[in-house]
Amino acid sequence: MILSLAAVAAMSSGGGSGLNYSSPLDSFDSSTSWILGEDPSNSSEPVVRTLTPDLQPATTAVAVQEVNPWDVALCVTGTLISCENALVIAVLFYTPTLRAPMFVLIGSLAAADLLAGLGLILNFVFTYLVDSSVEYVTLLSVALLISAFSASVLNILAITVDRYLSLYNALTYHTERTVTFTYVMVVLIWASCLALGLLPAFGWNCLRDESACSVCRPVTKVNAVVLAVTFLLVFALMMQLYLQICKIAFRHAQQIAVQHQFVAMSTTKGVSTLSAILCAFGACWLPFAMYSIVADSSYPAIYTYATVLPATCCSVINPIIYAFRNPDIQKSLWLACCGCVPSNLSLRPRTSSDV
């Protein structure tokens, strides 16, 4: 009503004045559409125009990205990985007796898997809660995942080498293998893995050329093949080392005639455990490594998810294989949880050669 009277007043006074009149309607947003209702049959009288907003629904709709169940599975896996390995790191940090070279390697492996789990969670956040079209967000997520998973694989190799040396040089192992040497090896592992993770950020990516992408954007096909071939070489080296460990273990069993039956049973159990560890590692990583070599970005995404998910599960079982089976870590967990140690828990110190 007030706007209608203002419009009439403006029309009646506009003819005799040379001033530029600024109508109150000018303050409205020009993007808002208005319906002007008037009676065209009586054009001689001043037209009273009623302004009503156009209540038609907006044509621009907010696009809601549908959540992929595979991404949810990876995020849940990352959460489980983070919780497991955070527990391992906490036990190693708050237990002063767990400072031997073996535990340094276990702690480094747990840190790598923890970062891998956090990387999976951040990747989900960046995909659905942050604008993933921003380049630095994508490159940050990829750098974290490549560095963490590469460090996880190389730390497993370092633990395998440590077990082999503890058997091959059993008499001089504890004097030659110092904590300082172990820390130097861990630093070299992390430096090399960080360099691998930063390659996409330094320009070795396919953000400008989608045809050069691998199954994991923005990693290039060449970069993915190099990483996959490197993993295959690491896996072959691990197989050779575990084979040598089995040979040395059987040789030691034959040399101890007094405990022949006991040692034979113990050695057989150790070989079975080694075989299970190697098979689990291969089953997790080999499908993704082989698929990265033969496939590219044109392949269906479901195949990539189906091979990536088992690879991430390797970081779920690593704490169980390398940490929670250790009697010293088990004792620390029991003391932290209930303040006691079960009587059936072995009190024998764990050595690097134990599996």
DSSP string, 288-338: HHHHHHH--TTS-HHHHHHHHHHHHHHHHHHHIIIIIT-HHHHHHHHHHHH
183 pairs with which residues across the strands? none
pLDDT in tens, 332-355: 888 877 766 666 665 555 554 454
- Other CB atoms within 10 Å distance of the CB of residue 335: 13
For residue 36, how far is the Cα from the chain centroid? 58
* Helix (H), strand (E) at residue 36: strand 34-37
The pTM assigned to this predicted structure is: 0.77
Residues 6+ apart with CB under 8 A from 36: 49, 50, 51
3-state secondary structure of 170: coil
Q: What CA–CA distance (Å, rounded) separates 110 from 9? A: 79
308 near 288, Cβ under 8 Å? Answer: yes
- What's the mean per-residue pLDDT of the chain? 78
Residue 109 in this model has a pLDDT that exceeds 80:
yes
For residues 46 and 99, which has the higher predicted lDDT (pLDDT)?
99
